[in-house]
């Protein structure tokens, strides 16, 4: 359990500890070599992604079909060595987008 001093530092810097979910998918992102290197991702700018994130922090307002397509594209080129399931792929890409828009 965090002591009150640590909690106050986190609140004052508007930072929260990394969740187990975030840690798992950031590890997958790193192992898979995923990155957003352009000004857009899946046809949307960073600003559009921020707007979607503000409306739903889990990005569930983006159709699942779109996430599935990007994961299947990854599998076409890289195989299933790191991202083994659609679920892991979707979660990894959602985390990648969140990290990109919040940098």
pLDDT tens column, 37-96: 999 999 999 999 999 999 999 999 999 999 999 999 998 888 888 999 999 999 999 999
Mean pLDDT of 32-37: 94
8 within a domain of the structure (yes/no): no
79 within a domain of the structure (yes/no): yes
10 within a domain of the structure (yes/no): no
54 within a domain of the structure (yes/no): yes
| Tens digits of residue pLDDT in 4-32 | 555 455 455 556 788 999 999 999 999 99
2 within a domain of the structure (yes/no): no
Measuring CA to CA, which residue among 5, 27, 2 is closest to residue 17? 2
1 within a domain of the structure (yes/no): no
Q: What is the pTM of this model?
A: 0.82
22 within a domain of the structure (yes/no): yes
Measured CA to CA in angstroms, residue 1 lies from 37, 38, 43, 97 at distances of 38, 40, 42, 30
63 within a domain of the structure (yes/no): yes
Domain total for the chain? 1
Range of the domain at 67: 18-101
């Amino acid at each position: 359990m965090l002591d009150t001093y640590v909690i106050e530092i986190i609140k004052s810097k508007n930072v929260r500890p990394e969740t187990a979910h975030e840690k798992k998918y950031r590890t997958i992102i790193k192992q898979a070599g995923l990155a957003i290197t352009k000004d857009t991702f899946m046809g949307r700018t960073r600003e559009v992604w921020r707007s979607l994130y503000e409306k739903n922090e889990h990005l569930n307002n983006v159709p699942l079909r779109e996430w599935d397509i990007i994961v299947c594209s990854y599998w076409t080129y890289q195989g299933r060595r790191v991202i083994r399931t659609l679920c892991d792929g979707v979660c990894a890409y959602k985390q990648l987008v969140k990290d990109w828009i919040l940098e």
